[in-house]
Amino acid sequence: MSKSQDKMISKYMSYLRVNLIISAYNQVPLSWKDTQNNLGYCKMYFIEKGYGVVYIDDIAYYPKAGDLMFIPEGCTHGYSTIGPKTYTKHWCHFNAYIGSIPISDFLDIPYIKTIKNPQKIISLFEDLTAYYNSDNPFSPLNAQATLMQLLSTYFSEICKNDITLKTQMTDTKLNLLLDFIEKNLHNKITINVLADYMNLHPNYLIRLFTSTFGLSPMEYINRLRIERAKELLTINNESIKLISELVGFSTPYYFSLVFKKQTGLSPKQYRQLTYKKI
């Protein structure tokens, strides 16, 4: 995977949101079978023991003990037992969206991987199921955090370099727009500037961007500017006024206003806490 793809995937992952539907652990019955239908959510299986077949887009997979499966939303999916020794597995159903778009529309993700040291995966699944079954009113927060950790472990540790951007996402105009924003962050950027660059009507651009990332172009730009400002405040001693200009804010006052809204601290307070003397 190229550095440019890494960078783009990182941007998309920062807007990932997940929602757990169900999590459980059981041995499936002999009647465990479903014909191939379009899947309206994602699934993950960790096979502890047993045998069976799982279909993804008309291809048969035979996950075995120690295998972790990711089954993406939007695929055609079916499954069946293939003998008396049925699967015992940890499993969950969930939604995973970047903005309003399923993660599987952005990324090519391996469907199956063998886990050499499965204890971490088992522990995450056990926690996920416990939170799902808990009556604690804050358990949904814990479940969401655990599901994120499970996905992060699969994507960044187990799959490592096997995840790539889908071709249509590599070529999309929105990727070009994100690059344009990053390269011009120090300049004045308005919706009209972005719309002219994309050759789109401003209102359409706002709807397209917001539906994809879950926030408006200007909210995204301000978030990016604040992240860059945090880096500068941490590593150099330039004035707040100069840093506000370097990251593209029109006035130090507006910079401080946005910075405090996003971090809870003024730029000066943030620097006092994080400044590294070189």
Burial of 267 (0-12, 13-18, 19+ CB in 10 A): buried
- Res 278: pLDDT: 45
CB 213 within 8 A of CB 17: no
Is the Cα torsion angle 234, 236, 239, 244 positive or negative in sign? negative
What would the mean pLDDT of 109-119 be, rounded to a whole number? 93
Percent of the chain's residues with pLDDT above 90: 61
Which phi and psi angles does 163 have, rounded to 5°? -100, 130
What is the torsional sign of CA 25, 29, 33, 37?
negative
Residue 169 has what pLDDT? 53
pLDDT single digits (tens) 212-242: 777 899 998 998 899 899 889 988 888 999 9
Residues with Cβ within 8 Å of residue 243, at least 6 apart in sequence? 229, 232, 233, 255, 267
In this prediction, residue 168 carries a pLDDT of: 52
pLDDT at 101: 77
- Other residues' Cβ atoms within 10 Å of the Cβ of residue 192: 10
What's the rounded mean pLDDT across residues 139-168?
Answer: 87
Q: Once rounded to an integer, what is the mean pLDDT over residues 57-83? A: 95
Q: Looking at the predicted structure, is the pLDDT value of residue 119 above 80?
A: yes
Cα 39 from Cα 231, distance rounded (Å): 42
Residue 144 to residue 128: CA distance in whole angstroms:
8
pLDDT confidence of residue 276:
63
- Residue 104: beta bridge partners? none
How does residue 2 score in pLDDT terms, banded at 50, 70 and 90?
A: low
Distance (Å) of CA 53 to CA 75, 265, 266: 16, 54, 56
d(CA 202, CA 80): 50
Cα–Cα distance between 151 and 68 in angstroms, integer? 11
Is pLDDT at 144 greater than 90 in this prediction?
A: yes
* Tens digit of each residue's pLDDT (9 = 90 or more) over 171-192: 467 778 888 998 899 999 999 9
Output 2 or 252, whichever has higher pLDDT.
252
Is 91 in contact with 141 (CB distance < 8 Å)? no
Question: What was the pLDDT predicted at 236?
Answer: 80
Angle at 147 between CA 144 and CA 151, to 5 degrees: 140
- Reply yes or no on whether the pLDDT at 38 is more than 60: yes
Query: What per-residue confidence (pLDDT) applies to 8?
Result: 76
What six digits make up the tokens of 160? 């490592």
pLDDT interval class at 277 (50, 70, 90): low
Residue 25's pLDDT band, with cuts at 50, 70 and 90, is very high
